[in-house]
A and B are shown apart, each in its own frame.
Chain A
Amino acid sequence: HGPYQPHEPGYGLDQPEYTPYDDQIPDPEARTLAIHNAKAYLLKTSTVSGQNVYDHLANVLTKILDEQPTNTVDIIESISNDVKCGQFQKKMDTLRDEHEILPAFEAAEKCKALFIKENGEENEEIIEEEIGHTPLPNVMQTAFYFEQAGIGLSKDESYYIFLALKSLINVQPIQTCRFWGKILGLEMNYIIAEVELREGEEEEAAGEEVTEEEGKGMDEVEEEDKEKEKEDEPPKSTYKPPPEIPKEENGTGANKYVYFVCNEPGKPWVKLPPVTPAQIVCARKIKKFFTGRLEAPVVSFPPFPGNEANYLRAQIARISAGTHISPTGFYQFPEEEEEEEGDTYEENPDFEPPSVAEMVDSLSTWAHHVKNILKQGRCVWINPKKIEEKDEEEEEEEEEEKSEEMEEEQEETGPPLLTLLSEDEGIKDIPAWTAQASTDLIPQHSVAILQSNRWPGAYAFASGRTFENIYFGWGHKYSPENHNPILPPPVQTEYPSGPAITETRDPTLEEELAFKAAQEALAADEEEEEEEEEEEDD
């Protein structure tokens, strides 16, 4: 730039004593006022973007001086633009950063607990104890096999579940443990572990007594009777509720395993209460989503006896009974006991696994190893009459009445343990199971995968001697028809109807007149007879 001419704005700037306003405003006070005005103008905030020219120019110059790019004057517009954009982002960034840290941080804290505890206790135990049979299942290995079929959770999640199971084992006295699966819910999901507690260390779960509505009804009727003693007593209800079918003992039948659930790995494990037959029978009739909170009530018809924890447990029992399978021959009945209803089975040491192709082709290479649940809701049928006889041994008369009234209940039988899969019924024309090999391209390392069609979400795999069952799904059975809720029961008869109670029609006017005429005729006849008798006597 050459020396400034007087008419150009920069004139006089390069000479130290002179400022651009010298020739315009000689008065120093007015000059400072003018400077203030100019600065105030520059500081005026824009109504659109909330910035002002003064700050913006200061930022641009700072940036230029910091970065010292080449050919600054050529790119000064884009620098100005960048600074403007930079202003926006910087403000929003700080806000967002603070938000984001919180939820991820909290979750990480919980998971950290999983990791830390492991390290602390693990080292000590391994040194002291012998490395015996650990109850911890190898979740990662199972996850690998299922991944071959495209089923399963992500590796991260599987690993978290692995660690969570480990923390469970450290807390509870557990003999065997297995990752049963994951059930999805509306707000949260459930991760479920199937566990067998060590013998003798089981705590009796606080029994949740099923409140029978019929029982309550009986009490109310009795109270009313007492109040109305002066009046005629209303007929007492002859209805006796069917006896409550007792639940199976812990460790047998449907309660063979104890289940622990948690919403996410890192959260504490909660033990599910044992399941009662009434709950299973009711769970068969309803179809509800799980919300993810164990205390949530299950609002349904017929009313479910229990809350979501009980419903979850009932569904787990049904799924296990329907879909837990193993290669035929892996388990066998111990040879000593010959009971058909034997609950126990043990691993067969002589088991030779059939090839993967065989396992996929025919379903007879698979067998159920969990007992089927009967209609009654238990695995072992119990005669309801026998329960009543135990309760009311004193009143013999009532026993006789009952045996007359109650129909003979037939013993319910279900398929015995270790039934082959080929005998599973399909639904309409859909077979109960779909079998596939995990890959056709590499048959040496492929795994046989079975998907259940009755319980969508239940999978099983087998490869040589290893096999496993797992469930990922919503927890409902498949039914091709729509779900029809049960209709309410028909209205019960309140009292037996007989001629004494039944209303008859009031006689009409003609009938009454005819009746009266007849009565008068009768009376007239009698009078005549009396008169005749009197005449005779005389």
Chain B
Amino acid sequence: DYRFERVWFWGCIQGVRGAYYIAEGLGPDRAAPRRRLYSLNCLDWSLLTPASREKVARARQLKGRFQGDPSFQYNLADTSAEAAETLLEGGKEPVIKEETRLIATIEQIDKAVGIVPRGAFVKTPLGSVHENRHFEGLSLVEAKKLCSYFHFTEPVNLKNKTLLEKANLDPSTDFLDSLEHDIPQGSWSVQVEKGGTVVVLRSLLWLGLTFYHVPMTKQYGYIYFGTGEKNIDLPFML
């Protein structure tokens, strides 16, 4: 009923008492904001309405595991007294539902570490983004380099590149940020498995995000399977 062209299984966020299974649906324009559904048992799915920016910003401050119950209320006063006060002034209660936190986390993860191989998507001159039907896959050599993968979000660093680098870019395929300049450096682990038939990238910033690509074929994808917490200790761990 949602009129999705494609539906992907995004991953699973494990809470203490249960796990959330998340699916994403895409319309014809791949760069449009995605609509996400979640379920506790893979049978009943509920739509996650995108939340307002303030809610998302507040939900980011919550720490700790997910509980596994979508109606669980987090008391904001525990984490940040200021935010709680501003809420109280506005006349609302300083609580955040776990659903909101779920939405915020999924968006964060997609923004930060949702990646696609270079050339898999093309941008038409009109601005809409489509899958590239002539994408044959990256070669093995290319697949081992971080610069052949892009973040699938609004590019941040693209404009900061030098003119020399920009001259080599192809505007139809290189319209996204590549992984090379991710901070901190080394926050991706690239591994080749099965003797070169599969390339696996794992994010160290969001532990649990795994991206795979079979070189020379159109198969790629990423999935998140973890606790839904950012790994803030990353700089210490490298």
Contacts and interface: CB of A to CB of B under 8 A. Distances in A.
Interface stretch (A38-46, A121-129, A183-191): A183-191
Interface string B177-209: 000000000100101101111000010100100
Contacts, number: 71
Contacts of A287: 233, 236-237
Nearest to B204: A289
A184 B195 contact: no
A488 interface: no
Interface in B13-54: 14, 16-17
Contacts of B191: 187-189
A220 to B, nearest CB: 31
Contacts of A390: none
Contact of B65 (A96, A105, A430): A430
B65 A184 contact: no
A227 interface: no
B237 A288 contact: yes
A478 B65 CA distance: 10
B195 A187 contact: no
Interface in A285-330: 286-289
Identify the interface centre among B139, B197, B207, B236: most chain A CB within 10 Å of its CB: B236
Contact of A434 (B17, B63, B196): B17
Interface residues of A, number: 37
Contact of A186 (B17, B189, B196, B197): B189
A100 B65 CA distance: 43
Contact of B140 (A99, A187, A451, A483): A99
B65 A103 contact: no
A412 to B, nearest CB: 28
A30 B232 CA distance: 83
Contacts of B207: 474
Contacts of A478: 227
Nearest to B65: A430
A187 B189 contact: yes
B133 to A, nearest CB: 15
B156 interface: no
Contacts of A482: 232-233
Interface string B217-238: 0000000001100001100111
B85 to A, nearest CB: 23
Contacts of B63: 480-481
A416 interface: no
Nearest to A456: B227
Given A184-B202, A483-B233, A485-B236, A431 B64 contact: no
Interface residues of B, number: 28
Contact of B196 (A100, A453, A476, A485): A100
A107 B216 contact: no
A189 B232 CA distance: 22
B222 to A, nearest CB: 16
A300 B210 CA distance: 27
A223 to B, nearest CB: 37
A434 B64 CA distance: 15
A432 B26 CA distance: 38
B141 interface: yes
Contacts of A99: 139-141
A25 interface: no
A288 B202 contact: no
Interface string A88-109: 0000000010011011111110
Nearest to B227: A456
A485 B14 CA distance: 28
A96 B195 contact: no
A483 B141 CA distance: 37
A453 B16 contact: yes
B207 to A, nearest CB: 6
Contacts of A187: 189, 191
Contact of B238 (A100, A103, A289, A474): A289
A240 interface: no
Given A430-B16, A456-B227, A186 B236 contact: no
A428 interface: yes
Contacts of B226: 456
Interface of A: 96, 99-100, 102-108, 111, 156, 184-189, 286-289, 428, 430-431, 434, 451, 453, 456, 474, 476, 478, 480-483, 485
16 contacts: A99-B141, A102-B196, A103-B192, A103-B196, A104-B196, A107-B196, A184-B202, A186-B186, A187-B189, A189-B191, A287-B236, A289-B204, A434-B17, A453-B65, A481-B63, A482-B232
Q: What 4 A-B pairs come out closest when comparing CB atoms?
A: A107-B195, A103-B196, A483-B233, A104-B195
Given A107-B195, A430-B65, A431-B16, 16 more contacts: A99-B141, A100-B196, A100-B216, A103-B196, A104-B195, A156-B194, A186-B186, A286-B236, A289-B238, A430-B64, A434-B16, A453-B16, A456-B226, A456-B227, A482-B233, A483-B236
Interface of B: 14, 16-17, 63-65, 139-141, 186, 189, 191-192, 194-197, 202, 204, 207, 216, 226-227, 232-233, 236-238
